[in-house]
Amino acid sequence: MEVYCHHCGKKRMDDAIYCSQCGRRLAADEEALVAADAPMIAGVSEIAASSETEAVNSPSFRSNGKRSKGGSLWSWLIPISLALVMAASVFTYYKYQLSINDKVIRLQNEAKTEALAGKYAEALALLKEAANDRPKFTALRKDALIIAHAAEQERAAEAASKQLEENNLSEAELALIKLKDELKGHTEPIYARVREKLTALNDKLGIMKLTDELADLVTVDELAAKLSIASHLDSEDAVSIREQLVEKIVNISLVEAEALLKKKNYTEALAVTVKALTFAKEDDRLVSLENRINNAQAQYEKSEQQRLEQAMQKEAAEDLKNQTAAVDVIHIKTTLDENGDVYIEAELKNVATRPIYSVKIQYTVLDKGGKEVAKGKAAVLPDYVEPGENMSFKEAVKDVHMEDTTVIVDHITWYLD
């Protein structure tokens, strides 16, 4: 297929970018338009050239040395005139074709402008008008198909938007998924409007779903998961829903931390507060609660340390008492019989904090002047004595023969259980 410059009509090479005759740039669309009509233009040129050749070679115009001077003049004028007329016709026809090309390109550019503005019907009308002048120009048909597809997707976006307005979230979500699939692989600028609408509708759908779910979210983890979703949404409504999610996280955390604080579970209370602060770093309520927990924990640890020290001291004192003073003598009674024997009856008590057993007593019998008259040992019953329980022993000292004797417990031994 031969290609011609639409500015001067000069035939050009297939791979030329600029015309060798006039030097003007050869546009791709213009090349296609001219190529579509090139056979017709070439045909006219060939007709003109053929007519000129035949006129020159005709016997009536061939010089044979016998023509008159008047015949010789006409033999030159007729073919020249014919050639000029044919050349003028070809040039006029070519200029006409170029004007059509310019019109088609202008209509195509106008259609592009209208389509990018979302005026798809107007754009398709312009392309149809251009196709009437150049029905073989395939670029027009391709543009029309793309514009029609873009218009169809925009209608789908409008339908999804209506579903959202009617709160039909499931239907709207399915429609948006289908629209996203339809736009895959289409990178043409005309789809930018639909893509923007798709993004906005997906954000709106996400916000509406979060709003519906908000009342049922009762844990910080649930709210944090939804907050992560909301953080990827970009609109004023998204800002509002994020603020609601953060506020609910703060309120739930405050309640949980206060309850743990009352139970003196400072570690968990602090963990709940710190986690909430990752979502609301400057919340005064959380900061104040964190300080109270830290202060309460420090005071508790100090009190516990003091209590432990006191407990250790008490335990040491009790242990000392258990080791050295586990038995108290409640009373000792002595009786002298007719044979001069003294009978001793004693009651004792376990004052230790642990059971004791195998209690043994060493005692001394004194006369009324305090002089020793006898010594002895005795086993206490019962053998095993719980803390706070009493025990006793009875013993007889032979041949004392004295009234008003006194018994002194010298030493007591026992074992701690």
Please compute the mean of the pLDDT values over residues 110-137 and round it to a whole number: 90
pLDDT of residue 5: 56
Segments making up each domain of the chain, as ranges: 3-61+72-114, 137-211, 215-299, 326-416
Distance CA 286, CA 134 (A): 74
Tell me what the pLDDT averaged over the chain comes to.
Answer: 82
Pairing of strands 342-350, 327-336: antiparallel
Written in H, E and C, the secondary structure of 330-355 is: EEEEEEECCCCCEEEEEEEEECCCCC
Choice between 79 and 416, residue whose per-residue pLDDT is larger: 416
All residues at 6 or more sequence positions from 361 whose CB lies less than 8 Å from its CB, including other chains: 346, 348, 377, 378, 379, 380, 393, 409, 411, 412
Model pTM score: 0.49
CB 342 within 8 A of CB 334: yes
Instruction: Kindly state the tokens that stand for 207.
Output: 């916000």
SS3 of residue 409 by DSSP: strand
- Residue 144 has, within 13 A of its CA and on its CB side, a CA count of 15
Domain 326-416, CATH = 2.60.40.10
Instruction: Kindly state the tokens that stand for 365.
Output: 């019998």
The residues with which 406 forms a beta bridge, in sequence order, are: 366
Q: pLDDT-based confidence at 98, cuts 50/70/90?
A: confident
pLDDT of residue 240: 86
pLDDT at 282 over 80: yes
Write out pLDDT tens, residues 208-220. 888 888 888 889 9
Choice between 235 and 138, residue whose per-residue pLDDT is larger: 138
Choice between 46 and 15, residue whose per-residue pLDDT is larger: 15
Distance CA 352, CA 388 (A): 7
Q: pLDDT-based confidence at 104, cuts 50/70/90?
A: confident
